[in-house]
Amino acid sequence: MDTINLIDGGVCAPIGFTANGVHCGIRKNTTKKDLALVLSSTQADAAAVYTTNLVKGAPLTVTKNNLSDGKAQAIICNSGNANTCNANGIEIAEEMCKLLSDELHINKTDVIVGSTGVIGQPLSIEPIKNGIPNLISGLSANGSANAAEGIMTTDTKMKEIALEFNINGKTCRIGGIAKGSGMIHPNMATMLVFITSDVNIDSGLLHTALFNTVQDTFNMISVDGDTSTNDMVSIMANGLAGNDRIVTEDENYKIFLSALNMLMTNLSRRIAKDGEGATKLLECVVSGAKTKDIARTVAKSVICSSLVKAAMFGSDANWGRVLCAIGYSGADVDVTKVDVAFKSAKGTIDVCKDGAGVPFSEEIAKEILLEDEIEILVSLNSGNESATAYGCDLTYDYVKINGDYRT
């Protein structure tokens, strides 16, 4: 398979995409952007996956309707207000699409609309209406970072990435921006991710690729166990790279799938590492499972454990908490075969073999766990399947941030 390379440009790296982000007045803090736009110069094939929370933000309903034909040309998203549980939420989300379509002279059903922020607060259309002209006039091929800032809430770091690869001898690109820090426990999805590409691919296959890749990337993140109401992962592919249209799951599809997986894995790690109050990225790597579902279930159970997360914050090699999380995961596991190790840039240390503790140096373990990226290695020794889950430590600051989030 051809090499996939990191490049600059975020969502604007693919041919034909521009973006921008502005402060329009939804947020009181005028230094923070609160409205973002991504535009394709032509109509694109599009797909999205959505939260499984029964309480859904109005923008998801509108976006799902708009994408029923598998086409889109623009993404508009505000931060600071989730537009969820509002009596006129659908009306507001539809008006956002219409205002944008009127200014851009595109079909209002070709708009993906998103909102993120506080739930249950009325959202006025006025700041959005007033902000759209500046949003459009500032569109730029260098605007990905502005758009990424415009969708941030409690995030402390901007999240964007772009990749380049070849299909049919044509240079193709894929880019993405994401927000996500708290209320992260995907069952698709609990964050906002907007992906662009210039690959020519059928919208049905685009949805298949997105849905399948989500299972081992965004759906394997947990920051706090809360599944959000609002968020989604969407993708637009405008075909301007000029490759032969991908209409079957052939080798070209596999190249695209590989690039999509790399992009979504990268963003998953960034979201987990930027969890609210977090000081460490945690990855639970499970190997030797009988089935993929068992591997996923075990990895997610460990990464979701508040006790494991707290131990990692304190750099405490309390491996019993890992075994505990495996034991209540509900997965079909022979606990007498389980091995556990901790790994970081400082090295690897075995702490459990065949479901029982082994002698190890607490001092060396502490040194390993003081790093800001930790791997919890779990070997089930019962099969050939594996999975990785992404999370973060649980700190005092998580409670501080969420104790007064609304006010």
Domain boundary pick from 243, 273, 303 = 273
Residue 399 burial by Cβ neighbours in a 10 Å radius (0-12, 13-18, 19+): exposed
Instruction: Check residue 181 and give its pLDDT.
Output: 64
Instruction: Check residue 190 and give its pLDDT.
Output: 42
Q: What percent of the chain has pLDDT over 90?
A: 80
Instruction: Express each pLDDT in 239-264 by its tens digit.
Output: 999 999 999 999 999 999 999 999 99
**What is the average pLDDT value for the chain, to the nearest integer?**
92
CATH number for the domain harbouring residue 393: 3.10.20.340
17-31, 53-67, 73-87, 224-238: range with lowest mean pLDDT: 224-238
- Residue ranges with strand state E in 303-368: 339-344, 347-353, 356-357
Q: Which two tokens stand for residue 207?
A: 């949805």
Instruction: Express each pLDDT in 118-152 by its tens digit.
Output: 888 899 999 999 999 999 999 999 999 999 999 99
Q: Is the pLDDT of residue 222 over 90?
A: no
Domain boundary pick from 273, 295, 324 = 273
CATH number for the domain harbouring residue 245: 3.60.70.12
For residue 66, give the amino acid letter: N
Give the C-alpha separation, 387 to 337, whole Å.
18
Q: Between vectors from CA 160 to CA 207 and to CA 180, what angle results, nearest 5°?
A: 75
Rg (CA), the chain: 22
Per the CB < 8 A criterion, the answer to whether 222 and 300 are in contact is yes
Q: How confident is the model at residue 405 (pLDDT cuts 50, 70, 90)?
A: low
Per the CB < 8 A criterion, the answer to whether 252 and 168 are in contact is yes
Give the C-alpha separation, 307 to 312, whole Å.
9
Q: How confident is the model at residue 182 (pLDDT cuts 50, 70, 90)?
A: low
Instruction: Express each pLDDT in 308-338 by its tens digit.
Output: 999 999 999 999 999 999 999 999 999 999 9
Helix, strand counts (H, E) of the chain: 11, 16
**Do 214 and 299 reside in the same domain of the chain?**
no
62-71, 219-228, 232-241: range with lowest mean pLDDT: 219-228
Domain count, the chain: 2
The stretch 6-30 carries a mean pLDDT of: 97
**Do 71 and 112 reside in the same domain of the chain?**
yes
Instruction: Check residue 188 and give its pLDDT.
Output: 34
**Do 37 and 128 reside in the same domain of the chain?**
yes
**Do 313 and 263 reside in the same domain of the chain?**
no
Exactly one of 190, 196, 217, 297 is catalytic; name it: 190
Give the C-alpha separation, 330 to 291, whole Å.
13
Q: Between vectors from CA 214 to CA 341 and to CA 276, what angle results, nearest 5°?
A: 65
Residue 138 CB neighbours (<10 A): 15
**Do 261 and 288 reside in the same domain of the chain?**
no
CA dihedral 80, 84, 86, 92 (to 10 degrees): 70
Domain boundaries, position 201: 5-273
For residue 158, give the amino acid letter: M
CA-nearest of 79, 89, 75, 84 to 38 is 75
Q: Is the pLDDT of residue 343 over 50?
A: yes
**Do 209 and 265 reside in the same domain of the chain?**
yes
**Do 175 and 242 reside in the same domain of the chain?**
yes
Q: How confident is the model at residue 201 (pLDDT cuts 50, 70, 90)?
A: very high
Counting every residue written for the chain, the total comes to 407
Domain boundary pick from 273, 307, 330 = 273
**Do 181 and 294 reside in the same domain of the chain?**
no
- Residue ranges with strand state E in 217-280: 221-222, 232-237
Helix (H) or strand (E) holding 58, with range, is: helix 58-66
**Do 148 and 258 reside in the same domain of the chain?**
yes
User: Could you tell me the end-to-end alpha-carbon distance of the chain, in angstroms, rounded to an integer?
Assistant: 51
**Do 295 and 207 reside in the same domain of the chain?**
no
**Do 72 and 208 reside in the same domain of the chain?**
yes
**Do 382 and 339 reside in the same domain of the chain?**
yes
Instruction: Check residue 184 and give its pLDDT.
Output: 47
Q: How confident is the model at residue 278 (pLDDT cuts 50, 70, 90)?
A: confident
Q: Is the pLDDT of residue 223 over 70?
A: no
Per the CB < 8 A criterion, the answer to whether 49 and 211 are in contact is yes
Handedness of CA 12, 47, 247, 263 (dihedral sign): positive
Instruction: Check residue 263 and give its pLDDT.
Output: 98
Catalytic residue list contains 407: no
Q: What percent of the chain has pLDDT over 70?
A: 94
